[in-house]
Amino acid sequence: FVTMNDMIRHTQAVMRGHSSGLVVADMPIASCDTVEDALKNCRRMVDETEVRAVKIEGKPEICREVVESGISVMGHTGLKPQEAEKMCVQGKDDAGAQAILDEAKALEAAGCFSVVLECIPSSLAKKITEELDVPTIGIGAGSDCDGQILVVHDILGLFTDFRPKFVKQYGDVRGEMLKAVKGFVDEVDRGIFPSPDHSF
């Protein structure tokens, strides 16, 4: 699984290229299971990357402690991949929908500056967005959220083995990469590359 060291290294790379924007570091699995761990790991993330905010899945009571320590937190409810037993739409029944709404409100009350709504019915996302004062960011939650997320690999078509319903592929970079690599291998096999034009 992804470790704190992994996330710090990746976040540092992002910050080198985009330090002027709002970069939110996704806290890895098991890094925020207790208040003590969350405070230590979120502080380390901010100190070592200079990131402006962290994202924590669920755990409103822990989010509150992190916010009160001076670190901006983006909340996350609905499908929470770090703890989900099955990757599927959440909140389809009344009880599940109410639990997600309650958690979203608790995350806002804890001081989260925004809340990610992942893989929930669009009607539920609309209700949550209307009831919260902070922005909602949807991923598989319909068009009524205040903002949208898609994973860049999905947008670019780099990973095609698994495509949830909410993913829209805007390019076929994987296809172009395979075409380029096959062309390279073919020309090497045939002795066409490197040609005199590509030699000193």
Segment 72-93 mean pLDDT? 95
Q: Report the alpha-carbon distance of residue 178 to residue 195 in Å, rounded.
A: 22
SS3 percent helix, strand, coil of the chain, rounded to 5, is 45, 10, 45
- List, in sequence order, every residue forming a beta bridge with 118; answer none if it has no partner: 78, 139
Query: What is residue 18's predicted lDDT score, i.e. its pLDDT?
Result: 86
The length of the chain in residues reads 200
Lookup result for tokens 């029944």:
93
118 has catalytic annotation: yes
Instruction: Give percent of the chain above pLDDT 90.
Output: 90
Task: Count the neighbouring beta carbons within 10 Å of the beta carbon of residue 34.
Answer: 12
Question: Which is catalytic among the residues 85, 118, 130, 131?
Answer: 118
Res 159: pLDDT: 82
Burial environment of residue 74 by CB neighbours within 10 A (0 to 12, 13 to 18, 19 or more): buried
CA-based R_g, the chain, Å: 21
Could you tell me which residues come within 8 angstroms of residue 146 by beta carbon, excluding any fewer than 6 positions away?
114, 129, 135, 136, 137
The pTM score is 0.91
Q: What is the mean pLDDT of residues 70-99?
A: 96
